[in-house]
Chain A
Amino acid sequence: MPVTDETLKEIALSRAEYEAVVDRLGREPEPLELGLFGALWSEHCGYKHSKPLLKLLPSKSERLLVAPGAENAGAVDIGDGLAIVMKIESHNHPSAVEPRQGAATGVGGIVRDIFAMGARPIALMNSLRFGLPDKPRNRYLLHGVVAGISTYGNCLGIPNVGGEVFFAREYDGNPLVNAMCVGLIEEGRIVRAAPKSPGDIILLVGADTGRDGIHGASGLASRAFAEQAEMRSAVQVGNPFLEKVLIEACLEAIKLPGVVGLQDLGAAGLTSAAIEAAARGNMGLRIDVARVPRRETGMTPYEVMLSESQERMIIIVKPGQEGPVIDTFSKWDLDATPIGEFVNGHEVTIMDGSRQVIATPVGPLTEPPMYEFDAPEPAGLRAIQNEDLAALPLPRQSAGHILLRLLGSPNIASKEAVFRQYDHQVQTNTVVPPGGDAAVLRLKGTPKGIALATDGNGRITYCDPYAGGAIAVAEACRNVSCTGATPIALTDGLNYGNPEKPSIQYQLRRSILGIRDACEALDVPVISGNVSLYNESADKAVFPTPIIGCLGLLARATTHCTVPFKAKDDVIVLLGAGKLSGDPAALAASEYLSLVHDRVAGLPKIDLFLESRLQKLCREAIAADLLRSAHDCSEGGLAVAIAESAILGGLGAELTIEIPDRWDAALFGETQSRIVVSVRKKDLARLEELAEAADVPALRLGTVSGRRVNFGSVCDVSLEAATNAWGHGFERSVSG
């Protein structure tokens, strides 16, 4: 029976893809088979537009234990017999439809990916993007998303140690909600998501299966947004308590001798969990849907296989050894139900009691078609990049006034109002809480610490996708280096529009190349990631937004550096620049350009070799205990970076450096590869020697002093006014 366009649309397969299915099967697919293909060949599960590009990213590292894509998350060795597992994942589309549950289940999903590896989740971070907060809908999305993360994450007892919140018109109606989770495990104890031998039993544990979330993967996450208006039923509802007991029960169960593997049920539910595990183990499988515990009656095999009910895992157990596993789960008042087994051969057999519903080869299901592209530069991009920023008039407002406006901009102002809704201290490891360049956690039982940051600038990526990719990596690593930690692994969350459009293909490809080059220059691998495409509303794509999560390692958790100035008379030094330039090109894609001139334009740049030397210098200086504070220069430029160190330290700054005529570019330009540090007077010479040896320019800017942030007559604000603007700007902007 020929399939209708309507059906294909529902499962998000193109006519050509359907024909490929028929070709590979040698027959028309059964309705359930078609559902499985729709899910597994969806962008969300199959990465058909991105996999060839993701292969470009460097993942080689002596520390690498689990390579990207091989399992639920990547893993690196951190010494002392320990490993870190980490991954970032998006939940953009569900959050756009139902922000609270969308964000909550996003947290739930990424946490399951981490403990599915056998690791104890030890930290969460979130990278959020919304449309401008002057629109009520965007405020509703912000508050819903934050409440969802707070409600779900806090219940799990995993500290949420920060991340970013950023607003731009281009995210109107399509917020980005990326969640990163980091787990800790003894090296050598990582659990795979695959069977070892035919006969291994599949136990389904956790929540009962309902009709929620059917077509979440193929429907919500894999098509353009205008079609999503009535898809609320495709959003799942989370139960954080169940997730918490599931974590404890699974981490207890994997210590049992008969347990072979663990896999979470995420996008496309049982379909993707079981079939991908079979593919990893190079086996077939047989599932009886009649044995799946359900929360509603009358569900068809199709619905059971494609349900995205949350808080479910499969645990793979040697036959005959299910008993102790089932007992462990029942200790936690959880059911563990055998629903099938892995078998010799390469066939997926789905039974409904004694009736065989389908028998389908694994290969075609798990090998979707791959789309490679090398789209040309879109028309119009040059015009954006070539915009003459020198022609911009200097603002009529004073530089001090502009500085206060920038400090109060919701993109720059303190996000305390968000972070205080997240428990960032539970597990008692948090040494540097959210709000700095990166969070720092100690690792109990070792002297070591880790630093975590997320970064990614859609505005820069819009102006130049290559630079955007490279700068996302550079900034995330710079944030981590500002604590003294060495970046050792990255996870990437790639958020773009509809990949069927050449302009989006260009953005995707170029920014991945930028990520690749930055990884190579900074010598840090990408160990896991996630791609979210079709982020569009009313046919308009979001800013292309690569988000990079960075893991850094500190030899001693006690030897780290933070953002606030520490003491009067310390010298403020800019590392990475030898002079303060007034070149307006530095305003490219800046917060200043957007906030004051309402433009997103220019050609952002980065010198990756300088970046690498700079970060290394910063880490060396911190290890030698030379730096009292270090702060990355990013949104808002030099003046904002200095003001933030002053505000957080409760100490003023007297800057004695000469400011060029084009003060806007000098103070608020966002030239990359710069770090504002402060040092004791007696250590200044040593820092300058280190900088010279590292071939990194260093510029004395002034001293920590007084109660003002003062750049001479050009720009002068009181510490109180700066603190007020920065401290309340966010709440002022987002409370309607």
Chain B
Amino acid sequence: MRFGIVVFPGTWSDVDCHHALEKVLGQQAEYVWHKDRDIDRFDAIVLPGGFSYGDYLRCGAIARFSPVMESVAAHAAQGKLVIGICNGFQILCEAGLLPGQLMMNDHLEFRCSWVNLRVENNETRFTHTARKGQVLRVPISHGEGNYTADPETIDELERERRILFRYCAEDGKVTPGANPNGSIGNIAGIMNERGNVLGMMPHPERCVETLLGGIDGAVILSSMFSPMKTPAKA
């Protein structure tokens, strides 16, 4: 599969995503400068982590005006895949490609640590290689990952099974203690109605090699390029 990795000024997970996708998972990956508009050649677009435009004003609020974002919206409208990781998730929310908003962590500190994620829906293009209810161990690294949305949106996300990951304890129980940032319903990742745009705060690209502490991130990334046994249900 051919991945385009978008680079905004201030992005820093671009290189990590490139390494994970190309060197570790054997896919094609290419950087896309945020001022480029031509992204037709890609099957999937990655909006990586970092501090685009320093996250000044509000996370992702400036990046969403970059020329590439119009093309990303068109790419998504064609049903092709988009994954926004960390800052990428924030940008997708700002761009209106995903509902809701990421606020400052409830404890007001930056948090870099390993968390457990329960796979809430394994019948999607991003999770179909996971077992139902599988617990994935993935790192987070953010100051503003506190997901929020109005009650109607949350209801809709729940009803349509668009919440893909929730922060949980090691045993898979979704508890307040397992929530690292105050997100409503321990939400760590959501997708759009059509099921082709994912936003998540944790960093799957950081855990695709045993030497670095775990390979659960590969479950998410490889779902994107592995054939699905049954068609996705959004």
A371 at the interface (CB under 8 A from B): no
Judged by a CB distance under 8 angstroms, whether A446 is at the interface is no
Say yes or no for B51: interface residue by CB 8 A criterion.
yes
Instruction: Scan residues 122-157 of chain A and give those whose CB is less than 8 A from a CB of chain B.
Output: 150-151, 154-157
B85 to chain A, nearest CB (A): 12
Report whether over half of chain B's contact residues are helix, strand or loop; otherwise say mixed: mixed
Q: Is the CB of A428 within 8 A of B112?
A: no
Docked Cα-Cα span, A239 to B53, in Å, equals 11
> A650 CB to closest chain B CB, in angstroms?
13
**Which chain B residues border A430 with CB–CB below 8 Å?**
212
Q: Which residues of A contact B13 (CB under 8 A)?
A: 157, 426
Asked if A241 and B206 sit within 8 Å, CB to CB, the answer is: no
Interface presence of A609 (CB below 8 A) = no
B54 at the interface (CB under 8 A from A): yes
Complex contacts, B206 vs chain A, CB 8 Å: 425-426, 428
Q: Is B109 an interface residue (CB 8 A)?
A: yes
CA distance in complex: A420, B105 (Å): 13
Most buried by B among A241, A430, A444: A241
- Nearest-CB residue, chain A, relative to B139: A425
A442 touches B211 (CB 8 A): yes
Q: Is A333 touching B19 in the complex (CB atoms < 8 A)?
A: no
Complex partner residue of A240 from B23, B49, B54, CB under 8 angstroms: B54
Contact with B along A413-453 (1 / 0, CB 8 A): 00000011111111111110000000000101000000000
**CB pair B10 A244 closer than 8 Å:** yes
Which residue in B19, B23, B54, B111 is a CB contact (below 8 Å) of A155?
B54
Residues of A within 8 A of B211 (CB): 431, 442, 557-558
Instruction: Report yes or no: A420 in contact with B9, Cβ–Cβ below 8 A.
Output: no
Interface string of B1-36 (1 = CB under 8 A from A): 000000001101101100110010000000000000
- Residue from the list B9, B10, B51, B212 in contact with A428, Cβ < 8 A: B212
Report B30-51 residues with CB < 8 Å from chain A CB. Answer: 49-51
CA distance A423 to B16 in the complex (A): 14
B16 to A421, Cβ gap below 8 A? no
**A452→B56 CA distance, assembly (Å):** 32
The answer to the question of A245 belonging to the interface, with a C-beta cut-off of 8 Å to chain B, is: yes
- Find chain B residues with CB under 8 A from A444 CB: 19, 23
Chain B: minimal CB distance from A731 (Å) = 12
* Complex contact B141–A428 (CB within 8 A): no
Q: Which residues of B contact A423 (CB under 8 A)?
A: 110, 112, 141
CA–CA, A420 and B113, complex, Å:
6
Question: Which of chain A's residues has its CB closest to B33's CB?
Answer: A331
Contact A239 B54, beta carbon cutoff 8 Å? yes
Determine the distance from Cα of A655 to Cα of B211 in the docked complex, in whole angstroms. 32
Q: Given known contacts A332-B9, A426-B12, A442-B211, is B113 in contact with A155 (CB within 8 Å)?
A: no
Binary interface encoding of chain A residues 567-608 relative to chain B, with 1 for a CB under 8 A from any of its CBs, else 0: 000000000000000000000000000000000000000000
CB distance from B15 to the nearest CB of A (A): 7
Which A residues are in CB contact (< 8 Å) with B20?
Answer: 428
The answer to whether the Cβ of B120 comes within 8 Å of any Cβ in the partner chain is no
A92 CB to nearest B CB, Å: 24
| Distance in angstroms between the alpha carbons of A442 and B213 in the assembled complex | 13
Chain A residues within an 8 Å CB radius of B111: 420-421
A245 and B62 alpha carbons, distance in the complex (Å)? 15
Q: How far is the CB of B14 from chain A (nearest CB, A)?
A: 9
When the two chains form the complex, which single residue of B19, B51, B112, B205 contacts A421, counting CB atoms closer than 8 Å? B112
- Which listed residue (A241, A424, A428, A557) contacts B205, Cβ 8 A? A428
- Provide the bound-state CA to CA distance between A423 and B50, in Å: 11
Chain B 196-215: CB-based contact to A (< 8 A → 1; otherwise 0): 00000001011001011000
- B143 interfacial contact with A, CB 8 Å: yes
Residue of A244, A332, A429, A442 near B51 (CB, 8 A) is A244
Question: Do residues A425 and B9 form an inter-chain contact, with CB atoms below 8 A?
Answer: no
Residue of A nearest to B50 (CB): A157
> Range of interface residues on chain A?
20 to 34
Contact A241/B56 with A155-B51, A332-B9, A427-B15 known, Cβ cut-off 8 Å: yes
- B212 and A154 form a contact (CB under 8 A): no
The chain B residue with its CB closest to the CB of A151 is B110
Chain A 207-245, CB-CB to B under 8 Å as 1, else 0, gives 000000000000000000000000000000001111011
Q: Which residue of chain B lies nearest to A429 when distances are taken between CB atoms in the complex? A: B212
- Taking the closest CB of chain B, its distance from the CB of A462, in whole angstroms, is 33
Give every chain A residue within 8 A of B110 (Cβ-Cβ).
Answer: 150-151, 154, 421-423
Inter-chain contact total with CB atoms closer than 8 Å: 83
**CB of A421, distance to nearest CB on chain B (Å):** 5
> Which chain B positions have C-beta within 8 A of A422?
110, 112
Cβ B51 vs Cβ A241 within 8 A: yes
* B212 and A431 form a contact (CB under 8 A): yes
Are the C-beta atoms of A427 and B16 separated by less than 8 Å?
A: yes
B99-129, CB < 8 A from A: 109-113
User: A181 vs B212: C-alpha distance in the bound complex, in angstroms?
Assistant: 21
Instruction: For the complex, give the distance between the alpha carbons of A428 and B203 in Å.
Output: 11
Cβ contacts under 8 Å, B23 to chain A: 444
Query: Nearest chain A CB to B221's CB is how many angstroms away?
Result: 13
- A547-578 interface bits toward B, Cβ cutoff 8 Å, 1 = contact, 0 = none: 00000000001100000000000000000000
Given A241-B53, A425-B141, A444-B19, CB of A156 within 8 Å of CB of B12: yes
Residues of A within 8 A of B209 (CB): 428
Contact A426 B212 (CB under 8 A): no
Taking the closest CB of chain B, its distance from the CB of A387, in whole angstroms, is: 42
Q: How distant is the Cα of A444 from the Cα of B9 in the complex, in angstroms?
A: 24
Q: Chain A residues near B15: list those with CB within 8 A.
A: 427
Complex: chain B residue closest to A416, CB-CB: B113
The complex places the Cα of A241 from the Cα of B50 at a distance, in Å, of 10
Neighbouring A residues of B143 by C-beta, 8 Å = 154
Known A424-B112, A558-B211; judge A241-B19 contact (CB<8 A): no
Q: In the bound complex, what is the Cα–Cα distance between A241 and B56 (angstroms)? A: 9
Residues of B within 8 A of A248 (CB): 9
Neighbouring B residues of A333 by C-beta, 8 Å: 9
Q: Across the interface, which residues of B come within 8 angstroms of A242, CB to CB?
A: 54
A609: min CB distance to chain B, Å: 36
A109-B10 Cα distance, complex, nearest whole Å: 18
Residues of B within 8 A of A154 (CB): 51, 110, 112, 141, 143
CB-CB under 8 A from B112, the residues of chain A are: 154, 419-425
Rounded to whole Å, the gap between the CB of B226 and the closest CB of chain A is 22
CB distance from B192 to the nearest CB of A (A): 27
Q: How far is the CA of A591 from the CA of B203 in the complex (A)?
A: 39
Q: Which of B54, B113, B141, B212 contacts A241 (CB under 8 A)?
A: B54
List the B residue with the shortest CB-CB distance to A244: B10
Q: Which residues of B contact A155 (CB under 8 A)?
A: 10, 51, 54-55
Q: Which residue of B lies closest to A159 (CB)?
A: B112
A67 and B164 CA atoms in complex are apart in Å by 53
* The residue from B10, B139, B141 contacting A245, defined by CB atoms under 8 A apart: B10
Q: How far is the CB of B133 from chain A (nearest CB, A)?
A: 26
Closest to A434 in B: B112
CA distance A427 to B54 in the complex (A): 18
B179 to chain A, nearest CB (A): 15
Q: Which residues of B contact A (CB under 8 A)?
A: 9-10, 12-13, 15-16, 19-20, 23, 49-51, 53-56, 109-113, 139, 141, 143, 203, 205-206, 209, 211-212
Contacts A/B (CB < 8 Å), 24 sampled = A151-B110, A154-B112, A154-B141, A154-B143, A155-B54, A155-B55, A157-B13, A240-B51, A240-B54, A241-B55, A420-B111, A421-B109, A421-B111, A423-B110, A423-B112, A423-B141, A424-B112, A425-B112, A427-B15, A428-B19, A428-B20, A429-B212, A431-B211, A557-B211
Q: Which residues of A contact B (CB under 8 A)?
A: 150-151, 154-157, 239-242, 244-245, 248, 332-333, 419-431, 442, 444, 557-558
What 9 pairs across the A-B complex have the smallest Cβ distances?
A157-B12, A241-B54, A155-B51, A423-B141, A428-B16, A423-B112, A421-B110, A150-B110, A245-B9
Other A-B pairs, 20, CB within 8 Å; known A155-B10, A426-B12:
A154-B110, A154-B112, A156-B12, A157-B13, A241-B55, A244-B10, A245-B10, A248-B9, A421-B111, A422-B112, A425-B203, A426-B16, A426-B49, A427-B16, A428-B16, A428-B209, A431-B211, A444-B19, A557-B211, A558-B211
